[in-house]
Amino acid sequence: MEVLTPQMMAKCDRETIDSGYPEILLMEAAAYGVARIAVEILKKEFEFKAKAELKLTFLVGKGNNGGDGLAAARILKNWGYQPEIIFSTEAEKLKGVNSKNYELASLNQVKYYHFSDLKEAQFLSKIENSDLIIDALLGTGIKGELRGNIKNIINLINQKRQSKPLTLAVDIPSGVIGENGRIAGEALNADYTVTMAAYKRGLLLYPGRDYCGQIKVVSIGIQPETIEKNSDSLKAFKQQEAVRLKPDRINNGHKGSFGKVAVLAGSRGMTGAPLLSTKAALRSGSGLVYLLTAEEIEAQTSVQLEEVVGIPLVSKKGMVSANSFPQILQFSKKVDLLAAGPGLGRSSEISDLMEKILKELELPLILDADAINAIKNLELLKKYKGELILTPHPGEMSALTGISIEEINNNRIEVARDFAEEHGVNLILKGAATITAAPDGRAYINTSGCNGMATAGSGDVLTGIVSALKAQKMSCFEAAALAVYLHGRAGEIAAAKTSNYALIASDIIDNLPQVWQSLE
Ligand SMILES: NC(=O)C1=CN([C@@H]2O[C@H](COP(=O)(O)OP(=O)(O)OC[C@H]3O[C@@H](n4cnc5c(N)ncnc54)[C@H](OP(=O)(O)O)[C@@H]3O)[C@@H](O)[C@H]2O)[C@@H](O)CC1
Ligand SMILES: Nc1ncnc2c1ncn2[C@@H]1O[C@H](COP(=O)(O)OP(=O)(O)O)[C@@H](O)[C@H]1O
Ligand SMILES: [K+]
């Protein structure tokens, strides 16, 4: 499913209208979507209340977002509910389709008030007595910090956060900036967001994502081709993509057919990281997993995971030595890919080794953690003879690019895409709202995951999953995006059992089986 900027969405609206589709019909479809989902919520949450007893309060602004709200209020009135409207502006000043929708709502005797005519206590009592608030104050047309009555309305409601009724946002919670998910001073916290035609970036990027609750995308009559044409190949990765992309498993396959993964990882004191990566690879369908590690720790790691084949490498002071390169080169001919980094440690030896690997190997490489930290010359990425997947967290990305962590997090999509395109790699920029970017400009924003995953070793698990998927013959970009999604789902399932507080990285691996079952 495409993820658009407000400008792209406006172009889709405009082209659809210019092709002869009346604007008021687009708005009617949007309003119908909102009304339909409002009813679903009301039926679920207030099973035993009659329609006429339910209090629905629409907060309506003067732009087209308000127009969607006005039309939805009228539709719900037609369906037997008793909605009330609170206008942030004088209703008589509405223009175009919004003015028409005001006339139609009036004709259907939808009750309305002007915010300016209500005393603060009256307004708050209306809010507190509502069963459902529908937020149609501001949509993608927001400019600058919140101002005027809209600001006052949102401030008043947010002060009463504890007693705030269920809230459904129309298109995007008012105050969230559609372009980038930043907050225009304040924003309304929604439990549900009904968004039109496609995701808007601000719904999936933080902090905006925290304000959206459950997001439902409704079709409003814009052709999929129009959306695709006006999008920039940024998509949301969801369960349906996971089901579609999961690698095939042939019935007459043997362990070699499901991918041979070599993991170059671990050092003295860092034996957990290679175990997490290799175990995650085994739990993600890989037929054979080898652990190439410092000879001093190989015996120790081998006893901990029976299914992994240990390959001891020449080492120095507990870390893999650059002199192990001939062993790695030789071994690389036996496997489908090499994943390097987890727990390797930092030293000039590791940097020299990574340089040799990038100069001389040819098989697909997955670089994480210390393998990323070891890259001193970015030119080697572009010159690498095989395919590359890099999985940096924002700290590693900052070390690679010199861009501050704050700037990376404020521009996750652009930073990930620019790096992938410039250096010809597939990139997973980790962290909340993980971005996966391909060298040709395609990108995914991940929709799974939870804050419990911010725990040591969780990145090592991801490396194992990506490796297994790539070894099962997926393209690098799709293997990376699917791995991020599965990792996030396993994290969510783990957190549901253990809580975000108690979650540890191995819980993510333990819940991979349930995630795989959900794809069948
Ligand atoms: N086009 C279509 O056919 C369709 C559009 N659709 C819907 O339209 C929405 C976009 O509508 P939009 O472009 O009219 O903008 P919208 O979000 O209502 O806000 C603009 C108003 O807000 C005001 N305002 C701005 N910033 C402000 C601030 N910081 N603080 C306070 N006020 C501020 C601004 O005021 P002004 O600057 O004029 O004083 C202006 O009046 C979109 O999200 C979707 O719901 C769907 O129905 C599908 C069909
Ligand atoms: N708040 C969060 N929401 C979703 N996923 C998260 C969050 N915090 C971290 N993660 C995920 O957890 C993993 C952490 O990886 P990383 O920082 O490399 O940890 P480590 O180096 O300890 O293994 C990444 O996949 C990241 O996207
Ligand atoms: K809104």
Distance from the alpha carbon of residue 391 to the mean position of ligand 3, in angstroms: 35
Find out whether the beta carbon of 141 lies less than 6 Å from any atom of ligand 1.
yes
Give the model's pLDDT for residue 92: 83
Q: Please check whether residue 28 is in contact with residue 224, taking contact to mean a CB–CB distance below 8 angstroms.
A: no
**pLDDT at 91 exceeding the cut of 80:** yes
How sure is the predictor about 257, in pLDDT bands with cuts at 50, 70 and 90?
A: confident
Give the model's pLDDT for residue 469: 98
**pLDDT at 256 exceeding the cut of 80:** no
Q: Please check whether residue 492 is in contact with residue 448, taking contact to mean a CB–CB distance below 8 angstroms.
A: yes
How sure is the predictor about 157, in pLDDT bands with cuts at 50, 70 and 90?
A: very high
**pLDDT at 477 exceeding the cut of 90:** yes
- Mean pLDDT of the region 253-265: 88
- Residue that the structure tokens 């929604």 belong to: 190
Pairing relationship of beta strands 443-446 and 435-437 according to DSSP bridges: antiparallel
Tokens matching residue 127: 């809010």
Q: Which ligand is nearest to the CA of 133?
A: 3
Pairing relationship of beta strands 234-237 and 443-446 according to DSSP bridges: parallel
Closest to 417 (Cα-Cα) out of 221, 163, 233 = 233
Query: What percentage of the chain reaches a pLDDT higher than 90?
Result: 92
Q: Which ligand is nearest to the CA of 490?
A: 2
Distance from the alpha carbon of residue 193 to the mean position of ligand 3, in angstroms: 8
Mutation choice for ligand 1 from 143, 182, 227, 230, CB with most ligand atoms inside 8 A: 143
Give the model's pLDDT for residue 159: 86
Q: Which ligand is nearest to the CA of 488?
A: 2
Architecture of domain 3-232: 3-Layer(aba) Sandwich (3.40)
Pairing relationship of beta strands 288-294 and 309-313 according to DSSP bridges: parallel
Q: What is the pLDDT of residues 413-432, one digit of tens each?
A: 999 999 999 999 999 999 99
Q: How many CA atoms lie within 13 A of 271 on its CB side?
A: 16
Long-range contacts, stretch 79-82, CB < 8 angstroms, 24+ apart: 79/35, 79/39, 79/51, 80/51, 80/52, 81/42, 81/51, 81/52, 81/54, 81/56, 82/51, 82/52, 82/54, 82/55, 82/56, 82/111
Give the model's pLDDT for residue 119: 96
**What is the average pLDDT score of the chain?**
96
Distance CA 77, CA 54 (A): 12
Q: Which helix (H) or strand (E) holds 260?
A: strand 260-264
**pLDDT at 255 exceeding the cut of 80:** no
SS (H, E, C) 56-82: EEEEECCCHHHHHHHHHHHHHHHCCCE
DSSP state for residue 165 in the 8-state scheme: P
- Mean pLDDT of the region 386-405: 97
Q: Please check whether residue 439 is in contact with residue 476, taking contact to mean a CB–CB distance below 8 angstroms.
A: no
**pLDDT at 44 exceeding the cut of 80:** yes
How sure is the predictor about 93, in pLDDT bands with cuts at 50, 70 and 90?
A: confident
Report residues near ion ligand 3: CB below 5 Å.
135, 169-170, 174
Distance from the alpha carbon of residue 54 to the mean position of ligand 1, in angstroms: 28
- The domain ranges of the chain are 3-232, 248-518
Find out whether the beta carbon of 62 lies less than 6 Å from any atom of ligand 1.
yes
Q: What is the pLDDT of residues 214-223, one digit of tens each?
A: 999 999 999 9
**pLDDT at 299 exceeding the cut of 90:** no
Distance from the alpha carbon of residue 455 to the mean position of ligand 2, in angstroms: 7
Q: Is 20 left (phi over 0), alpha (psi -120 to 50) or beta?
A: left
Phi/psi of residue 160, nearest 5 degrees: -100, 30
Q: Please check whether residue 271 is in contact with residue 297, taking contact to mean a CB–CB distance below 8 angstroms.
A: yes
Choose which CATH entry (3.40.190.10, 3.40.50.720, 3.40.228.10, 3.40.1190.20) describes domain 248-518: 3.40.1190.20
